[in-house]
Amino acid sequence: MGHILIVEDEKAINDLILMNLEMVGHTAIQAFDSMEALAATKDHHFDLCLLDIMLPGQDGLQLINNFKMLSIPVIFLTAKDSLTDRVKGLNLGAEDYITKPFETLELLARIEVVMRRYGRANTTFVYKDVEFSLTERTVRKAGQMINLTAQEYALLEVLIQNRNLALSREQLLEAAWGYDYIGETRTVDMHIQRLRKKLDWEDVIKTVYKYGYRLEVSQ
């Protein structure tokens, strides 16, 4: 997982991002203005920066050059959602541009994409006797290969990338199947049961009552 700098002046949003990043295994440092952000880069190495555009002092559009010089990829977070603003942000060198309000799953997915682009994302996940390899697209339990269907693998990947977060059946359908909820979520339940059985993860993939599922692992 990555070490991420969160530069966001609204404390509630900053705290929420921090909580969600830490829940899935990232570490993070918070900054609430440009001065704190620049100071943090002197004391820490960061794999990624989540950068608000509207900041006290230097704004994000001015600050991004500092991160580029340090080879820290930037994802802009902003309420400015016009096409002109997006193009300007991307032309300045941002890897991505996310408008507020945003879904946690979307933010985490975009972080994962940028981390992979820079070779900074973990490509393996190990919990107890199960090893998941993203590059090999394999799953082993106690050293033995587990045969998963393509859809079971996609569902497991979503659960792992969002571990310790409660995911609704609708969110799982969209993230693992690639389509919006259309009234039928039983297929999610069936695939969850198959994963539990194949991995012996009855106590790891938790049911969230009347909502969905959570892959619950200790950090």
Query: What is the domain extent for residue 85?
Result: 3-117
Query: How much is the pLDDT for 69?
Result: 94
Q: What is the pTM of this model?
A: 0.86
Same domain, 50 and 72: yes
Query: How much is the pLDDT for 56?
Result: 87
Choose the final residue of a domain: 117, 146, 177: 117
Query: How much is the pLDDT for 180?
Result: 65
Question: Which pair of structure tokens corresponds to residue 216?
Answer: 């619950």
pLDDT in tens, 100-138: 889 999 999 999 999 999 988 888 999 999 999 988 999
Same domain, 15 and 88: yes
DSSP secondary structure, 160-216, as one string? HHTTTS-EEHHHHIIIII-S---S--HHHHHHHHHHHHHHT-TTTEEEETTTEEEE-
Choose the final residue of a domain: 84, 100, 117: 117
Query: How much is the pLDDT for 18?
Result: 97
Choose the final residue of a domain: 117, 138, 170: 117
Query: How much is the pLDDT for 87?
Result: 83
Same domain, 135 and 86: no
Residue pLDDT tens, the chain, 219 long:
899 999 999 999 999 999 999 999 999 999 999 999 999 999 999 999 999 998 988 899 999 999 999 999 999 998 877 778 778 888 889 999 999 889 999 999 999 999 999 988 888 999 999 999 988 999 999 999 999 999 999 999 999 999 999 999 999 998 998 876 565 678 999 999 999 999 999 999 999 999 999 999 986
Q: Choose among 81, 25, 19, 17: nearest CA to 49.
A: 17
Query: How much is the pLDDT for 78?
Result: 87
Same domain, 104 and 46: yes
Same domain, 47 and 142: no
Question: Which pair of structure tokens corresponds to residue 153?
Answer: 């693998």
Same domain, 141 and 75: no
Q: What CATH number did the domain enclosing 159 receive? A: 1.10.10.10
- In angstroms, the Cα distances linking 148 to 16, 133, 136, 192 are 34, 13, 13, 12
Report the number of distinct structural domains present in the chain: 2
